[in-house]
Amino acid sequence: MGVVKNYLNQYVLSAWSPFKFEKFNWVIVSEIAVSEVLNPRDVEGAEFYARFVELNQYYDLFLIHPDGEIFCTVAKDIDYQTNILSGPYSQSSLGRVVRQVMNTENISFIDFELYAPSGMAPAAFLVNPVLRVSLQEENDWQEFIKTWSGVQEGEGNT
């Protein structure tokens, strides 16, 4: 299992397993968009991060891959699915603070500046790195999400 880019050049969580059928060697592959895995929906269908943004009165929330690709946002402005480290917004305040966090692996804040993808509205960014998540931390996170969103055991399973 791992995170890879699929044939559409999107990040997916991919799981695979080989099996043999008669004289043939096969592989079963199952993939789901990383943004779906990390941004589940509650029983009413609301996305976890959309609810979080609304409750905290933020404009947006970004999930950024370590290579710099913005693979999930709530607002889905024009910076969505661009690379904040090397793309058109790499010199923006968000690009600068993401580079700083990548170098230091510490939480960082950058004060209000005009941000082109949000229509030149003033934007400040708080970036918190999520690094080397262990399986136990992932399980704890999934339990937290289920508890917070009200998802019952078995709901959302396919």
Mean pLDDT over 66-86 rounds to 93
User: Global pTM?
Assistant: 0.69
**CATH of span 40-135:** 3.30.450
Residue 7 in tokens:
């044939």
- Which whole number is the average pLDDT over 25-34? 86
- Decide if pLDDT at 156 tops 60: no
Domain positions in the chain: 1-38, 40-135
Q: What is the mean pLDDT of residues 143-148?
A: 55
Q: How far apart are CA 35 and CA 37, in angstroms?
A: 6
Q: What local confidence, expressed as pLDDT, does residue 154 receive?
A: 53
Residue 130, classified by CB atoms within 10 Å of its CB into exposed (0-12), middle (13-18) or buried (19+), is: exposed
